Homo-oligomer: A and B are copies of this chain.
Amino acid sequence: MTTIQTRVLSGFMELLPKDQIAFNQMMDTIRSIYELFGFVPVDTPAIERAEVLLAKAGGETEKQIYRFQKGDNDLALRFDLTVPLARYVSEHVHELSFPFRRYHIAKVYRGERPQKGRFREFYQCDIDIIGEGDLSLVNDAEIPSIIYCTFTALGFSNFIIRINNRKILNAFFQTKLEGQSGEEVLRVIDKIEKIGRDAVVNELLSLGLNAEGAEQVIEFVSLRGEAAAVLVKLKERAIANPQYEEGVRELELVTQYVTTFGVPSENFQIDLSIARGLDYYTGTVYETVLNDYPEIGSVCSGGRYDNLTAYYSDRKLPGVGISIGLTRLFYQLREAGIIKPNAATLARVLVLPVMDDIRPALLIAARLREAGIKTEIYLEEDKLKKKMRYASTVGVPYVVLVGEEEVSSKTYAVKNMVTGEQQKLSLESLISLLLR
B91→A379 contact, CB < 8 A: no
The residues in A between 132 and 185 inclusive whose CB is less than 8 angstroms from any CB of B are 134-136, 138-139, 142, 145, 149
B5→A38 contact, CB < 8 A: no
A138→B358 contact, CB < 8 A: yes
A45→B377 contact, CB < 8 A: no
Query: With contacts A21-B40, A37-B369, A257-B362 known, is A9 near B49, CB below 8 A?
Result: yes
Query: With contacts A99-B379, A344-B40 known, is A121 near B45, CB below 8 A?
Result: yes
Which residues of chain B are near A13, meaning CB under 8 Å? 45
Query: With contacts A260-B363, A366-B262 known, is A17 near B96, CB below 8 A?
Result: yes
Size of chain A's interface in residues, with CB distance under 8 A? 100
Which residues of chain B are near A55, meaning CB under 8 Å? 4
What mask results when residues 106 to 147 of chain A are scored 1 for a CB within 8 Å of chain B, else 0? Answer: 010101000000001100000000010011101100100100
Q: A432 at the A/B interface (Cβ < 8 Å)?
A: no
Q: A70 at the A/B interface (Cβ < 8 Å)?
A: yes
- When C-beta atoms are compared, the residue in chain B nearest to A390 turns out to be B97
Q: A5-B52, A6-B91 known; 6 other A-B pairs, CB under 8 Å?
A: A5-B49, A9-B45, A9-B48, A14-B44, A35-B346, A38-B375
Q: A424 at the A/B interface (Cβ < 8 Å)?
A: no
Q: Which residues of A contact B (CB under 8 A)?
A: 1-2, 4-9, 12-17, 20-21, 23-24, 35-49, 51-52, 55, 66-68, 70-71, 73, 75, 87-88, 90-92, 95-97, 99, 101-102, 107, 109, 111, 120-121, 131, 134-136, 138-139, 142, 145, 149, 257, 260-262, 311-314, 344-347, 350, 358-359, 362-363, 366, 369, 372-381, 390, 393-394
Which residues of chain B are near A101, meaning CB under 8 Å? 376
Which residues of chain B are near A87, meaning CB under 8 Å? 6
- When C-beta atoms are compared, the residue in chain B nearest to A33 turns out to be B369
A311→B2 contact, CB < 8 A: yes
Q: Which 10 pairs across A and B sit closest by C-beta, in order of nearness?
A: A38-B376, A68-B68, A38-B347, A12-B45, A6-B91, A17-B40, A136-B379, A6-B90, A138-B379, A262-B366
Q: How far is the CB of A315 from chain B (nearest CB, A)?
A: 11
A372→B313 contact, CB < 8 A: no
A38→B380 contact, CB < 8 A: no
Which residues of chain B are near A139, meaning CB under 8 Å? 379
A-B contact pairs, 8 of them (CB 8 A): A4-B311, A6-B52, A6-B90, A9-B75, A17-B102, A36-B375, A142-B379, A149-B369
